[in-house]
Amino acid sequence: MLGHPGRRRARRDATPGEPGHRRRCRHFDPDALATQIHRYRSAAQIGITQTAARRDPVMRKHHALARRLIDRQDDYLRYTRDWHVPADNNGSERDIRMIKISVNWPGAGGLARAA
């Protein structure tokens, strides 16, 4: 038996905002989505305004981040329109984790050369 039966039941009965809801729901409420996008843009715009002086390196980085949030909004929010795009990148991170561990493993280089 895979997993815990209680977890399966929780996913089946999930409500919006809980894990599992996204798999069954194929659309967002357009009004709620528009509100969230407006908040996203407003927060980025505040960041741009407050870091416009770019006095120090940290402020320059924050300003660049706020600009990227606005410039790449469609890329960052693609999961709200295209249901084939996951909302997070956990799968990608999991795929590269073992590669990175083997590269950083102490003594791995010597074992690879000996084999």
Give the pLDDT of the chain (115 residues) as one tens digit per residue: 444 444 444 444 445 555 554 555 566 788 999 999 999 999 999 999 999 999 999 999 999 999 999 999 998 888 888 878 877 777 777 766 666 665 666 665 555 554 4
Largest CA distance in the chain: 62
Domain boundaries along the sequence of the chain: 8-82
